[in-house]
């Protein structure tokens, strides 16, 4: 019996995925990206479990996220901040031994003016063509001039199109990256996120997988399959029959031509089940697929269970993400990606960790 809508997180699956990716990345170090509360899986739980498994480098997006990881893991692991740090956050980063990434000349100037510059080497993010974040190629000379007395520990960049292996941007960015890393010969080179691990010879010295740790993203040529880490289930609240001609839900957007058996479950868009899954999404009950019918509302979703032969009654679980309900397929049905679906699972959903 499932009383509450729940996200069950399998920490063993995340460790297994990290090991599989570590194997795939060859000699490169495999870090863990735990931003956005470890893509919704719980940054303290995920980072401490991965730390025990041997991971020593963790990437977050913000200083606040990094502080959570630092507090959980103690002094040793390296905790990076992708977005860098400004103002008071720079002081917090220095006090807590965090490593903000330098993404622009202005971040580099602020770093030089802070106490961080006396104690730490810098991580430089170079924009090799995505045009989103990072020091532009045209600013390299100026960056070098600002770095005369500061050493560079990592030179990183980020792919725009790694999930499309044949996209010409991948080779172009790799070429730019090879060019730019020659400027800092001793530095650790890092280019690949999860999808980059599917491209030839892009692991360099350090890889930064996020979504693949959690079992999502585009397929990768791993020896063992990646396992889904999060299962999202909601309890059936009520089961009822409707005659031919009946509608269901707000706006009466679904009309049934034949008599149907429906089950309404306790999950809605306030839990992070996107409203765009209305009449598009699916769930699994006892391993059998059923469709979302009508509009998803704030707290409720209705399923057509007419053809489900497994037991359907209040308290039975309907799985929306997990072993049966594939994350990326559900995300595609919502017109989005696994990233957005995972990070959108809301705080009302109870989280339970295993392993
Ligand atoms: C989020 C992020 C990653 C991880 O990306 P995935 O696609 O989840 O593997 C790696 N590098 C940077 C710069 C990021 O922002």
pLDDT in tens, 308-344: 999 999 999 999 999 999 999 999 999 999 999 999 9
Q: Is the CB of 208 under 6 A from ligand 1?
A: yes
Give residue for tokens 């980063």.
93
pLDDT tens digit sequence for 143-197: 999 998 899 999 999 999 999 999 999 999 999 999 999 999 999 999 999 999 9
Percent pLDDT > 90 in the chain is 97
CA torsion 27→211→45→224, rounded to 10°? -60
Q: Is the CB of 82 under 6 A from ligand 1?
A: yes
Q: What gap in Å lies between CA 7 and CA 338, rounded to an integer?
A: 15
Q: Is the pLDDT of residue 93 over 90?
A: yes
pLDDT band at 200 (very low <50, low <70, confident <90, very high): very high
Query: What's the CA-to-centroid distance between 140 and ligand 1, angstroms?
Result: 23
pLDDT tens digit sequence for 39-88: 999 999 999 999 999 999 999 999 999 999 999 999 999 999 999 999 99
269 close to 344: Cβ distance less than 8 angstroms: no
Q: Of 230, 170, 169, which is closest to residue 198 (Cα–Cα)?
A: 170
Q: Which of 39, 250, 269, 324 is catalytic?
A: 250
User: Is 39 considered catalytic here?
Assistant: no
Q: What gap in Å lies between CA 49 and CA 11, rounded to an integer?
A: 7
Mean pLDDT of the chain: 97
* The pLDDT of residue 118: 81
User: Is 204 considered catalytic here?
Assistant: no
Q: Is 64 exposed, middle or buried (0-12, 13-18, 19+ CB in 10 A)?
A: exposed
Query: What's the CA-to-centroid distance between 306 and ligand 1, angstroms?
Result: 41
pLDDT tens digit sequence for 217-229: 999 999 999 999 9
* The pLDDT of residue 117: 81
Is residue 79 classed as helix, strand or coil in its secondary structure? strand
Q: Is the pLDDT of residue 23 over 90?
A: yes
Q: Is the pLDDT of residue 116 over 90?
A: no
Query: What's the CA-to-centroid distance between 156 and ligand 1, angstroms?
Result: 11
Tell me how far the alpha carbon of residue 33 is from its chain's centroid.
8
Q: Is the pLDDT of residue 248 over 90?
A: yes
Q: Which residues contact 195 (CB under 8 A, 6 or more apart)?
A: 159, 162, 163, 217, 218, 220
Query: What's the CA-to-centroid distance between 287 and ligand 1, angstroms?
Result: 32
Q: Is the pLDDT of residue 130 over 90?
A: yes
Q: What gap in Å lies between CA 14 and CA 228, rounded to an integer?
A: 8
Percent pLDDT > 70 in the chain is 100
Q: Are strands 122-127 and 135-136 parallel, antiparallel or unpaired?
A: parallel
Structure tokens at 350: 């109870």
Q: Of 184, 222, 230, which is closest to residue 30 (Cα–Cα)?
A: 222
Q: Is the CB of 211 under 6 A from ligand 1?
A: yes
57 close to 78: Cβ distance less than 8 angstroms: yes
* The pLDDT of residue 136: 97
Q: Which residues contact 153 (CB under 8 A, 6 or more apart)?
A: 120, 121, 122, 123, 187, 188
Q: Which residues contact 120 (CB under 8 A, 6 or more apart)?
A: 99, 153
* The pLDDT of residue 89: 95
Query: What's the CA-to-centroid distance between 102 and ligand 1, angstroms?
Result: 16
Structure tokens at 252: 């009466």
Could you identify the atom of ligand 1 that is nearest to the CA of residue 101?
Answer: 13
Q: Is the CB of 210 under 6 A from ligand 1?
A: yes
Mutation choice for ligand 1 from 33, 165, 173, CB with most ligand atoms inside 8 A: 33
288 close to 309: Cβ distance less than 8 angstroms: yes
Q: Kindly report the protein residue whose alpha carbon is nearest to atom 3 of ligand 1.
A: 193
* The pLDDT of residue 119: 82
Could you identify the atom of ligand 1 that is nearest to the CA of residue 212?
Answer: 9
Q: Is the CB of 274 under 6 A from ligand 1?
A: no
Q: Of 253, 246, 281, which is closest to residue 267 (Cα–Cα)?
A: 281
Q: Is the CB of 254 under 6 A from ligand 1?
A: no
Structure tokens at 221: 């040529």
* The pLDDT of residue 149: 86
Structure tokens at 329: 């397929």
């Amino acid at each position: 019996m499932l009383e509450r809508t729940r996200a069950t997180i399998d920490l063993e699956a995340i460790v297994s995925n990290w090991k599989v990716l570590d194997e795939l990345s060859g000699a490169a170090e495999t870090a863990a990206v735990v931003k956005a509360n470890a893509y919704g899986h719980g940054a303290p739980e995920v980072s401490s479990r991965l730390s025990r498994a041997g991971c020593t480098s963790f990437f977050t997006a913000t200083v606040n996220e990094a502080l959570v990881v630092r507090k959980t893991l103690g002094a040793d692991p390296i905790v990076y901040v992708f977005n860098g740090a400004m103002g008071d956050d720079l002081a917090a980063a220095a006090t807590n031994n965090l490593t903000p990434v330098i993404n622009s000349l202005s971040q580099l100037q602020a770093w030089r003016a802070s106490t961080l510059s006396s104690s730490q080497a810098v991580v430089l993010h170079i924009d090799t063509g995505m045009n989103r974040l990072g020091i532009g190629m045209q600013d390299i000379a100026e960056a070098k001039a600002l770095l005369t007395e500061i050493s560079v520990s990592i030179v990183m960049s980020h792919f725009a199109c790694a999930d499309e292996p044949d996209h010409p941007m991948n080779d172009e960015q790799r070429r730019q990256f090879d060019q730019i890393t020659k400027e800092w010969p001793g530095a650790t080179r890092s280019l690949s996120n999860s999808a980059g691990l599917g491209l030839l010879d892009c692991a360099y010295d350090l890889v930064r997988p996020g979504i693949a740790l959690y079992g999502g993203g585009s397929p990768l040529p791993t020896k063992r399959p990646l396992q889904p880490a999060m299962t999202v289930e909601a309890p059936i609240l009520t089961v009822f029959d409707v005659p031919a001609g009946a509608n269901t839900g707000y706006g009466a957007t679904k009309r049934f031509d034949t008599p149907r058996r429906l089950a309404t479950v306790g999950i809605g868009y306030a839990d992070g089940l996107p409203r765009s899954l209305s009449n598009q999404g699916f769930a699994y009950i006892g391993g059998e697929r059923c469709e979302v019918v009508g509009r998803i509302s704030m707290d409720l979703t209705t399923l057509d269970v007419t053809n489900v032969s497994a037991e359907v009654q209040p308290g039975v679980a309907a799985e929306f993400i997990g072993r049966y309900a594939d994350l990326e397929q559900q995300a595609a049905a919502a017109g989005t990606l696994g990233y957005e679906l995972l990070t959108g699972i809301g705080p009302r959903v109870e989280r339970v960790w295993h392993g």
